[in-house]
Amino acid sequence: MSQLVTVIHFSGHQYLRHRLVLSILSGKPVKIDKIRPDDKNPGLRDYEVSLLRLLERVTNGTVIEISVTGTAILVKPGIIAGGTVVHDCPLSRSIGYFLEPAVMLAPFSKKPLQLTLRGITSDDRDLSADLIRTVTLPHLQLFGISEGLELRIKKRGAPPLGGGEVQFLCPIVKQVKTMNFVDRGRVKRIRGIAHAVRVSPQFSNRMIEAARSVLNRYIPDIYLYSDVYKGEDSGKSPGYALSLLAESTTGVIRSAEAVSVPGGTPEDVALTASRALLSEIRRGGCVDKQHQTLVLLMMVLGSEDVGRCKMGEPTPRTIQFLRDVHQAFSTSFKIVPADKSEQGSSELLFSCYGTGYVNANRTVA
């Protein structure tokens, strides 16, 4: 009798990353069609192809079939191999675009992943390398992935020419821990990194000043680091950015960032970042909106116990992610308002029963 292979079917170019991640983790082949069929330039973009390349390199035995027009792909995932991988990211997207799926996959690989990515380290679309280092990786620690988890920013690269380089080291785990995170606590400290490359180092100081002007009214414990890269390490284009994170008493980390725009001032950037941080704090929940998918994924992959997490309202990405998770792992979340009695609160309590995902790729002995 032949093996029944269920192919998960998706349409549209959106959410390509987490769909591929889910496919690789669940081992189910995925077929994605209608990738920009009506566009002037139909089919996959260069960065999407590059992402597929990266995933092919990180895994072993993955078969990727792209249709002639590029508007449909079929991915038959292999196993996550890990090891040392070097990848040059195209300049159309920043490193964050590639690093996020890598972060989701890396703990479940056969060998610890050492991924070197070259390209743009921060832009306004994806998480910057700074935020991934200071916010995303601590989120993994909630699930017991900590020893040897590191992101090194070797060089910075601002858009449009990039030239940055980061190195991502991730250990492997057998199984992620079940999370139970419902107490958001209160913000106890604010940290931030202001970096400026190929511009006057004063810019970062100006950003810090401006951010402090907004945030100082709340809390005195604010440290904003000025991080200036020089020479070779500063990439090929000028740029500056500010990334902020607020940590609560219970370890909740919320983040926001803003990057330079042509013609803007450092003060504008700082104000945008700090106000975005404030609105993020106001949203509530134990996980900020950029990391909802990561946390939910790890909850699904946990042992066969109930994991709970309090979050703000889901973003469209999260909603689609939940639907895709349901398709890939047939796991649904119980989503209820965190405190029913309170009217104004939009906090939701996500709880799910983990699938008991075990890292089958890991070698014993």
Partner 1 sequence: MDDRQHKAHRPALSGAKAEKKKGKGKEKQHGYNEKAFAPRSGRRAERQGRRNIERDQTRLHVPLVNRIPDDEPPPVVVAIVGPPGVGKTTLVKSLVRRYTKQTLNHVQGPITVISGKKKRITFIECNSDLNSMIDIAKVADLVLLMIDGSYGFEMETFEFLNILQTHGFPKVIGVLTHLDLIKKASTLKDTKKALKKRFWTEIYQGAKLFYLSGVLNGRYPDTEILNLSRFISVMKFRPLIFRNSHSYMLADRIEDLTPREEVRASKGKCDRTVTVYGYLRGTNMRPGTKVHIPGVGDLQVKSITKLGDPCPLPDADSEKRRKLSEKQKLLVHAPMSDIGGVMYDKDAVYINVPGSFTRGSNEVPLGEGERMVMDLQDINTTLDDAVARSQIKLFGSSSKPLAVDPGPSRLHSGSEDEEDEDEADDMPEDEDDEDEFEGSEGEEEWGSDAEIEGDEDEEEEEEEKEGGRGRSAPRNVRRGTGGLPSGHDRRGKAIDFADSDSDMGDFDEDEDVDDVPRPGGGARVRFDDEEDVHVQSDDEDEMDEDKEDVPRWKTNLGGRAQAAFEEHSRKRQRNWMKLIYSSSLTPEQIVRGDSLTSQGQNKDEAEDDFFTIKSKGTVGDTEEELDMTKEKVDPEALKAWEDEELLDSIRNLFITGGSGTGDAGGDDGYEDLESSADFVDLEAQTDGQEGATASGDPETAHSVTLAAKKELLKKKFDEQYDDPEDSKMDFYEEKKDEIARQLQLNRAEFENIDPEARALVEGYRPGSYVRVELTDVPAEMIENFDPAYPIVVGGLLPAEERLGYVQVRIKRHRWYAKTLKTNDPLIFSLGWRRFQSIPIYSLDDHSIRMRMLKYTPEHTHCYATFYGPVALPNTGFCAFNSLAGDAAGFRVSATGVVLDIDRSTKIVKKLKLTGVPYKIFKNTAFIKDMFSSALEVAKFEGANIRTVSGIRGQVKKALPKPDGAFRATFEDKILMSDIVFLRAWYSIQPRKFYNPVTSLLLSDKGRWSGMRLTGQVRREEGLKTPLNVNSTYKKVERAPRRFNVLKVPRKLQKALPYASKPKLMKPQGKPTYMQKRAVVMEPEEKKAIALLQQIRALRKDQAARRKEKQNERKEVHRKKVAKEEEQKSEKEKEKRKEYMRAAGMKSKREADKEEGRSSKRRKI
User: Where in 253-312 is the site for partner 1 (CB under 8 A)?
Assistant: 257-258, 271-272, 275-276, 278-279, 281-282, 284, 289-290, 303-306, 308
- Our CB check for partner 1 shows the closer of 262 and 344 to be 344
Residues 83-102 that bind partner 1 (CB under 8 A): 96-97, 100
Could you tell me how many residues of this chain bind partner 1 (CB under 8 A)?
107
Q: Is 346 left (phi over 0), alpha (psi -120 to 50) or beta?
A: alpha
The rounded distance, in Å, linking the Cα atoms of 165 and 117 is 6
Q: Is 233 left (phi over 0), alpha (psi -120 to 50) or beta?
A: alpha
The rounded distance, in Å, linking the Cα atoms of 75 and 123 is 29
- Our CB check for partner 1 shows the closer of 205 and 303 to be 303
Other residues' Cβ atoms within 10 Å of the Cβ of residue 351: 16
Q: Determine, following the binding rule CB under 8 A, whether residue 334 of this chain makes contact with partner 1.
A: yes
CB of 310 to partner 1, least distance (A): 8
- Our CB check for partner 1 shows the closer of 156 and 310 to be 310
Q: Determine, following the binding rule CB under 8 A, whether residue 313 of this chain makes contact with partner 1.
A: yes
CB of 232 to partner 1, least distance (A): 28
Q: Determine, following the binding rule CB under 8 A, whether residue 317 of this chain makes contact with partner 1.
A: yes
Residues 152-211 that bind partner 1 (CB under 8 A): 178, 180, 182-188
Q: Determine, following the binding rule CB under 8 A, whether residue 339 of this chain makes contact with partner 1.
A: yes
SS3 359: coil
SS in 3 state form for 250-302? CCCEEEEEEECCCCCCHHHHHHHHHHHHHHHHHHCCCCCHHHHHHHHHHHHCC
Residues 112-131 that bind partner 1 (CB under 8 A): 124-127
| Segment lying near partner 1 (by CB under 8 A), choices 15-23, 67-75, 160-168, 204-212 | 15-23
Other residues' Cβ atoms within 10 Å of the Cβ of residue 287: 26
With 0-12 / 13-18 / 19 or more C-beta atoms within 10 angstroms meaning exposed / middle / buried, residue 232 is exposed
Q: Which of 10, 15, 143, 229 is the binder for partner 1 (CB under 8 A)?
A: 15
Q: Determine, following the binding rule CB under 8 A, whether residue 69 of this chain makes contact with partner 1.
A: no
Whether 223 contacts 192, CB under 8 Å: yes
Q: Determine, following the binding rule CB under 8 A, whether residue 330 of this chain makes contact with partner 1.
A: yes
- Our CB check for partner 1 shows the closer of 1 and 68 to be 1
